[in-house]
Amino acid sequence: MPIPLEYTRRTLDEIRAGSPEHVEQLFADLRADFDAASSTVDSADAWKSFRDAWIGRKSGVLSAISDNWLKPAPPELKRVVGAALNQLRAHVEAVIEARRLEVEVSADQAAAVREHVDLSLPGVARSLGTRHLIRQTMDDFERIFLSLGYSVATGPEIETPYYNFEALNIPETHPARDTMDTFYLDLPPGALTQYLLRTHTSPVQVHTMESHPPPVRVIVPGKVYRRDNPDSTHSYMFHQVEGLAVDTDITFCEFKGTIEYFIREFFGPKVKTRFRPSYFPFTEPSAEVDASCIFCDGAGCRICKFSGWIEMFGSGMVDPAVYGFVNYDAKKLCGFAFGLGVDRFAMLKYGISDLQLLFQNDVRFLRQFP
Ligand code: PHE
Query: Could you give the percent of the chain with pLDDT greater than 70?
Result: 95
The pairing of beta strand 237-247 with beta strand 334-341: antiparallel
Taking the centre of ligand 1 as the mean of its atom positions, its distance from the CA of residue 179, in whole angstroms, is: 12
- Ligand 1: which residue has its CA nearest to atom 5? 339
CA distance 315 to 336: 7
Higher-pLDDT residue of 242 and 102 is: 242
**From the alpha carbon of 313, which atom of ligand 1 is closest?**
5
Q: Using CA atoms in the order 20, 22, 27, 29, what is the torsion angle rounded to 10 degrees?
A: 160
Taking the centre of ligand 1 as the mean of its atom positions, its distance from the CA of residue 11, in whole angstroms, is: 108
pLDDT above 70 for 83: yes
Higher-pLDDT residue of 155 and 298 is: 155
- Ligand 1: which residue has its CA nearest to atom 12? 314
Question: How buried is residue 363: exposed, middle or buried, by Cβ count under 10 Å (0-12/13-18/19+)?
Answer: exposed
CA distance 301 to 209: 42
pLDDT above 80 for 340: yes
Examine residue 215 and say whether the peptide bond preceding it is cis (omega within 30 degrees of 0).
yes
Looking at residue 295, what is its pLDDT?
A: 82
Pocket test for ligand 1, best of 165, 199, 200, 322 (most atoms within 8 A of CB): 200
- Ligand 1: which residue has its CA nearest to atom 7? 339
Taking the centre of ligand 1 as the mean of its atom positions, its distance from the CA of residue 167, in whole angstroms, is: 14
Q: What is the overall mean pLDDT for the chain?
A: 89
Task: Count Cβ neighbours within 10 Å for each residue of 132-143 and write b for 16 or more, e otherwise.
Answer: ebbeebbebbbe
CA distance 62 to 92: 9
**From the alpha carbon of 340, which atom of ligand 1 is closest?**
5
Give mean pLDDT, residues 221-232: 91
- Ligand 1: which residue has its CA nearest to atom 6? 339
Looking at residue 175, what is its pLDDT?
A: 77
pLDDT above 50 for 130: yes
Looking at residue 118, what is its pLDDT?
A: 77
pLDDT above 90 for 72: no
Looking at residue 338, what is its pLDDT?
A: 97
- 56 and 63 Cβ atoms separated by less than 8 Å: yes
Q: pLDDT tens digit string along 291-316?
A: 898 888 889 888 788 999 988 899 99
CA distance 278 to 303: 22
- Ligand 1: which residue has its CA nearest to atom 4? 200
Taking the centre of ligand 1 as the mean of its atom positions, its distance from the CA of residue 338, in whole angstroms, is: 6
Beta bridge partners of 223: 239
Pocket test for ligand 1, best of 164, 198, 202, 259 (most atoms within 8 A of CB): 202
C-alpha dist (Å) from residue 182 to 138, 197, 206: 24, 7, 19
Query: Could you give the percent of the chain with pLDDT greater than 90?
Result: 51
Looking at residue 193, what is its pLDDT?
A: 85
Taking the centre of ligand 1 as the mean of its atom positions, its distance from the CA of residue 339, in whole angstroms, is: 4
CA distance 217 to 244: 6
- 81 and 19 Cβ atoms separated by less than 8 Å: no
Helix, strand, or coil (residue 3)? coil
Ligand 1 — pocket residues by CB below 6 A?
Answer: 200, 202, 242, 280, 283, 314-316, 337-339
**HSE on the CB side for 290, CA within 13 Å?**
15
Using 50, 70 and 90 to split pLDDT, how confident is the model at 261? very high
pLDDT above 70 for 2: no
- Ligand 1: which residue has its CA nearest to atom 9? 338
Looking at residue 1, what is its pLDDT?
A: 42
Give mean pLDDT, residues 162-190: 86
Backbone dihedral angles phi then psi of residue 216, each to the nearest 5 degrees: -130, 145
Q: pLDDT tens digit string along 91-121?
A: 999 999 999 988 888 888 888 778 877 778 8
**pTM of the complete model:** 0.66
Please give the angle made by the CA atoms of 255, 218 and 361, to the nearest 5 degrees. Answer: 105
Q: pLDDT tens digit string along 6-31?
A: 566 566 666 666 777 788 888 888 89
Q: pLDDT tens digit string along 31-70?
A: 988 898 888 888 888 899 999 989 988 888 888 888 888 8
Helix, strand, coil shares, percent, the chain, to 5: 45, 15, 35
Taking the centre of ligand 1 as the mean of its atom positions, its distance from the CA of residue 314, in whole angstroms, is: 5
Looking at residue 27, what is its pLDDT?
A: 87
Looking at residue 6, what is its pLDDT?
A: 58
